[in-house]
Amino acid sequence: MFSFTDPEFVRNPYPQLAELRAESGPVWHEESQLFLAAKYKDANQVLRTRTLGRIFSPRTPSADWETFNYLHSDSILDSEPPKHTRLRSLVTKAFNPKRIEELRPNVERITEELLDQIAQKSAGQGHFDLIADFAEPLPVMVISELLGFPKSDEYLLRPWSQAIVKMYEPSPTDQEKAEARQASNEFASYVHQLMVERQKNPGSDLISELALVEEQGEKLSATELIATCVLLLNAGHEASVNGFGNGMVAALERPEQLAMLNSDPLGLAGTAVDEFLRFDAPLHLFERTATEDTEIGGVVVPEGKKIAALLGSANRDADIFENPDEMDLTRSPNPHIGFGAGIHFCIGAPLARMEMTTALPLLITSHPNLTLVGEPVRRPTFVLRGYESVKVTS
């Protein structure tokens, strides 16, 4: 059985994931102590089965991990009903499709600003970094504006986020654990200060609205509000950065797909973004815990044991997708589960999709001759799959 930390597996997990899908059902993975659901039908069932809960196990000693723990236990992502129902209801009153669509002009403006900066940089260097100069700053700037973070502090957010999300990988090092604790403390303290300010002087930002939102007498507690803001930043931009970067690299490596995108960037934006998310998923593993003995794909997951939906594997399942190992930017329908499914379907999915479908045609129109410069540099992680650097020229 493969190891999640094997550099060769991280570089290209798909051949071994295909071998997993050839099994009759979920397979026990001794190293991670997880059942692995690799087939689409099994992974989808894992995400939708109520006896498989998203149950957060607090890290110990609790005094060292206090902030990290509440950022998860009080978030939508790591809660189950009835708490999850209450949190999601409150958050979606402020963070809803209407609010997201109203952000589109901001996304267009920020994209144009980044493209102007890229034009200046390219004029001097002859190339730019698709991740550092475009895919990474765009969603961070969008969510920063949404939450009302001062522009001068935007540079703090991505490092905090990257330190925290390294804890989602199978075997974080002691240094990564220490960095995650520090980032959690600093990020939570920063958001708490903003929350206190907005409670006294509310604005039109999302923190102000979350502080005021109420339903049937229920409001978000301070830790729930902080956890929500941190989750929106972390989950909200990781999917966009990695989904966009993974998809663009795959398209740049396939001239016929890139030519098709160049021929109609606006018309193809919707199907292209969904294919980006399917073909090389930004999130590969989402784990759940059995609250009672639960059967998935003919395999019983005993109470207390964990099972992981392998989203990237599910999105390459030939039972669901024709020619699954080929990129097709016109693919439709495309029922990928890159954003999850069930009650934990990503709350930030509409924002991520809107960002990517807005930014992609603007990028392609301004740079119709994008070409890779050298070999893209992968992040050394499996669960959150993406690139550290993608040098391109136009």
pLDDT digits (tens, 9 = 90+) for 175-188: 999 999 999 999 99
β-strand partners of 37: 309
Examine the pLDDT at 388 and tell me if it is beyond 80.
Answer: yes
Could you tell me the pLDDT band of residue 235, with boundaries at 50, 70 and 90? confident
The predicted pLDDT at position 28 comes to 98
Rounded to an integer, what distance in angstroms lies between the CA atom of residue 200 and that of residue 145? 19
Examine the pLDDT at 4 and tell me if it is beyond 90.
Answer: yes
At 289 the three-state DSSP class reads strand
CATH code reported for the domain at 7-49+58-393: 1.10.630.10
Triad 167, 170, 174: Cα angle to 5°: 55
Residue 312 is inside which H or E element, if any? helix 311-314
Per-residue DSSP letter, 342? G
Rounded to an integer, what distance in angstroms lies between the CA atom of residue 93 and that of residue 275? 30
Q: What's the pLDDT tens digit per position in 19-28?
A: 999 999 999 9
The predicted pLDDT at position 360 comes to 98
- Name the residue ranges covered by the structural domains of the chain: 7-49+58-393
Could you tell me the pLDDT band of residue 379, with boundaries at 50, 70 and 90? very high
Q: What residues contact residue 90 under an 8 Å CB cut-off, 6+ apart?
A: 210, 213, 214, 215, 218, 219, 220
Order of strands across the sheet that contains 128-129: 128-129, 391-393, 371-372
Q: Which conformational region is residue 326 in: left (phi greater than 0), alpha (psi within -120 to 50 degrees), or beta? A: beta
Residue 383 · residue 170 · CB < 8 Å: yes
Per-residue DSSP letter, 28? E
Averaged pLDDT score across all residues of the chain: 94
Q: What is the mean pLDDT of residues 100-118?
A: 95
The predicted pLDDT at position 122 comes to 79
The predicted pLDDT at position 217 comes to 79
Could you tell me the pLDDT band of residue 362, with boundaries at 50, 70 and 90? very high
Q: What is the mean pLDDT of residues 249-264?
A: 97
Q: Known catalytic residues?
A: 235, 238, 240, 346, 355
Could you tell me the pLDDT band of residue 393, with boundaries at 50, 70 and 90? very high
Rounded to the nearest 5 percent, the helix, strand and coil shares of the chain are: 55, 10, 35
Could you tell me the pLDDT band of residue 96, with boundaries at 50, 70 and 90? confident
Q: What's the pLDDT tens digit per position in 201-212?
A: 999 999 999 988
The predicted pLDDT at position 324 comes to 98
Distance in angstroms between the alpha carbons of the first and the last residue of the chain: 42
Q: What's the pLDDT tens digit per position in 122-146?
A: 777 889 999 999 999 999 999 999 9
The predicted pLDDT at position 126 comes to 82
Alpha-carbon dihedral sign for residues 95, 183, 137, 285: negative
The predicted pLDDT at position 191 comes to 94
Q: What is the mean pLDDT of residues 308-324?
A: 98
The predicted pLDDT at position 125 comes to 81
Which of 121, 42, 52 is closest to 80 using CA atoms? Answer: 52
